Structure 1
Amino acid sequence: MQAVASPTTTIRRIVYRTRGHSHGGITRLMSPSDLGESLKPFVFLDIFDMERPMLDAMRAGAGMSIHPHSGIATVTVLTEGRMKFDDPSSGTGTLSYGGVEWLRAGSGVWHGKELTPDDVNFVQGFQLWLALPPDLENGEPESRYIESQGIPTVGPARIILGTHAGVTSPTPAPSGINYLLVTLKAGESWTYQPPAGHSIGWLALAKGALQADTSVRAGDMVVFEDAEAAITVQAGPEGDAVFVMASAVPHPHELHLGNYSVHTSAQALEAGERRIEELRQRMVAAGNRRTSTGNVPVFR
């Protein structure tokens, strides 16, 4: 079987490959201080693989601590398992394969415990950070939870961000960014044609094996040469291949980095970190905000 977005005879070469570094159930594939400098607006990528002991600890309130962000948007998408959300401003629900948490930190937020595991034995997914443009980096924060059925599909691809094959994601991302979640059956091939101007391209493979111009195995993140040519991949013969594919117009601004923040200027970073401290004081004064289902909503 073959699902083709646009035919091409050009082979888009892989020019960089990483397997990142792991701590517990999280593998850091890209950070703003390394690969993110070359792939901006994509500046950070984690893949998380969480088994029962870690999930039980998260349900008990342990796990990731609450932490701040400014200047970025975070995009969390699940490839396996289920996570529950419970937020007074967004309602309640469950994220499963293809479900998305979108958090535009903007001027500043504190978060880290707004998702809790459902009664499952394994959860896998990706968290991506986007560097925001100057008109959004210190703007009003926004968070949305979009369940799996709310994310549109074209062929084997879920459109997490942007527009692909004439179909647009409901996630309110800045223009010039595409981010897709793709599952190919064993032996299936697929061609992704980036929109005009999207010269940055990469993918990260969660499960299975792929063949591009070279082989890609589960746990790899690979970067394609800067170009607007199509990217063709084929799943290996042993089973499904699950991966995220991204393309974008290059982010034209320098990256100014804080501990949890990425901005386009020193002045914008200073404003974001000042706002984060103001929010911290308000959050401490607010006391225990844990919901009846165990979540701690985003503070913004």
Structure 2
Amino acid sequence: MTTSSTNLDESLSRRIVHSTRGATGHGPITRLMSPADLGQILKPFVFLDIFEVSGDAIHAMSSMPLHPHSGIATVTIFTEGRVRYSDPENGEGTIGYGGVEWMRAGGGVWHGKELTAEEVPRIQGFQLWIALPPELENGEPESRYLESVGANKGQPYHVILGNYQGVQSPIPAPKDVNYLLVTLKPGERWIYQPPAGHSVAWLALAKGELNAGGAVQSGEMVSFDSSEAPITLQASGQEDAVFVLGSAVPHPHPLHLGSYSVHTSAPALEAGERRIEELGKSLKAAGDRRTESGTIPVYR
């Protein structure tokens, strides 16, 4: 639902219960959520970074070290700029607004250099982690790169994961998880109606200002009360409001945390960490895997 109305119907607004601008940062990256804090409340969403680089710093993106994961899926989207991927199993191309890198780590992967920056003045985006259910957390890894998940004519959102208003994302994410990329023009109003059972909900604003039953500023993440009520949103500033919004059925399992892993049980975590240690040894033996464009494909 989209309308140019400037008055929010407060009776439709789901209540904001927490807001954050992130507790930690590393250069151009700000950590908005981790598995040890908000991730405990918003699981299956357990981790969210917002990143923003410009000028010469863009090319420093390639300095990120290779690192492992298990038990999770990572979802990387861009609100501004473009990056290039090159992978023997997935071809090559570019990802910008409306595109996505999906990586289901499952039983274990090493990654961190599979994307390189295009010649653009600025890159901004989000990386999200999703805790996987027991049947997938130690399963076969998978990587996918989509230049676009497809636009929804007349609507302000792209369905990055899940199914919303009959629009199905092409990404094979676990069921009962929605993740949308949304842009509202100044004054534009939009109501998100969560699917049945989606009592977990949050959003993070990359640019602009937003009224979400309370003021949300760029760089801020807010979470909503546990219910299935609609979320009423309106761009309240003088520029477009660009944000990501997630909703889901709650993850029913405890989070067992490793340095780079999130699992549903101690044995599953042990298996995942053992696997990524083995992969690390074989990765070292594999030598230089860099492609002509400078990327290093995900190792699994």
* Aligned match of 2:42: 39
Pairs within 5 Å for 1:231-250: 231-250=231-250
**CA shift in 2, pair 1:138/1:223, >3 Å:** same
* Aligned match of 1:125: 125
**Does residue 3 of structure 2 align to residue 2 of structure 1?**
yes
* Aligned match of 1:159: 159
SS at match of 1:196: coil
Matched-pair contact (CA < 8 Å) for 2:74–2:102: yes
Paired with 1:190 and 1:259, the residues of 2 have a C-alpha distance of 38
**Does residue 280 of structure 2 align to residue 294 of structure 1?**
no
Q: Which runs of 4+ in 1 moved over 6 A?
A: none
Q: Return the offset for 1:153.
A: 2.4
SS at match of 1:290: coil
Pairs within 5 Å for 1:90-109: 90-109=90-109
* Aligned match of 2:228: 228
Q: What do the CA deviations read for 1:207-234 (whole angstroms, capped 9, x no partner)?
A: 0000111100001100000000000010
TM-score, with length taken from structure 2: 0.95
Q: Return the offset for 1:236.
A: 1.4
Paired with 2:12 and 2:207, the residues of 1 have a C-alpha distance of 26
> Higher mean Cα deviation, 191-200 or 19-28?
19-28
Paired with 2:150 and 2:282, the residues of 1 have a C-alpha distance of 34
Structure 2 residue ranges without an equivalent (≥5): none
Q: Return the offset for 1:54.
A: 1.9
**Does residue 146 of structure 2 align to residue 146 of structure 1?**
yes
Paired with 2:233 and 2:13, the residues of 1 have a C-alpha distance of 10
Quick one: which amino acid aligns to residue 15 of structure 2?
R
Paired with 1:123 and 1:170, the residues of 2 have a C-alpha distance of 24
Matched-pair contact (CA < 8 Å) for 1:103–1:143: yes
**Does residue 12 of structure 2 align to residue 13 of structure 1?**
no
Paired with 2:98 and 2:14, the residues of 1 have a C-alpha distance of 26
Paired with 2:151 and 2:173, the residues of 1 have a C-alpha distance of 15
Q: What do the CA deviations read for 1:156-187 (whole angstroms, capped 9, x no partner)?
A: 01000000001100011000000000000000
Paired with 2:227 and 2:197, the residues of 1 have a C-alpha distance of 9
Quick one: which amino acid aligns to residue 256 of structure 1?
H
Quick one: which amino acid aligns to residue 225 of structure 1?
D
SS at match of 1:136: helix
* Aligned match of 1:191: 191
Paired with 2:199 and 2:162, the residues of 1 have a C-alpha distance of 15
Aligned pairs, how many? 294
Q: Return the offset for 1:118.
A: 0.4
SS at match of 1:281: helix
Paired with 1:8 and 1:36, the residues of 2 have a C-alpha distance of 28
Q: Return the offset for 1:9.
A: 4.0
Matched-pair contact (CA < 8 Å) for 1:3–1:156: no
Q: What do the CA deviations read for 1:251-282 (whole angstroms, capped 9, x no partner)?
A: 00000000000000000000000100110111
Paired with 1:133 and 1:23, the residues of 2 have a C-alpha distance of 30
Root-mean-square deviation over aligned CA pairs: 1.5
Paired with 1:172 and 1:94, the residues of 2 have a C-alpha distance of 20
Identify the match of residue 55 of structure 2 among 52, 57, 66: 52
Q: Return the offset for 1:117.
A: 0.1
* Aligned match of 2:168: 168
Q: Return the offset for 1:248.
A: 0.3
Q: What do the CA deviations read for 1:51-88 (whole angstroms, capped 9, x no partner)?
A: 12221233xx4x21100000000000110000000000
Paired with 2:41 and 2:294, the residues of 1 have a C-alpha distance of 38
> Higher mean Cα deviation, 46-55 or 289-298?
46-55
SS at match of 1:127: strand
Structure 1 residue ranges without an equivalent (≥5): none
**Does residue 202 of structure 2 align to residue 180 of structure 1?**
no
Paired with 1:211 and 1:296, the residues of 2 have a C-alpha distance of 41
Matched-pair contact (CA < 8 Å) for 2:210–2:237: no
TM-score, with length taken from structure 1: 0.95
Paired with 2:10 and 2:164, the residues of 1 have a C-alpha distance of 17
- Could you tell me the percent identity over the aligned residues? 64
Matched-pair contact (CA < 8 Å) for 1:2–1:189: yes
Q: Return the offset for 1:152.
A: 4.1
Q: Return the offset for 1:8.
A: 9.3
Matched-pair contact (CA < 8 Å) for 2:29–2:50: yes
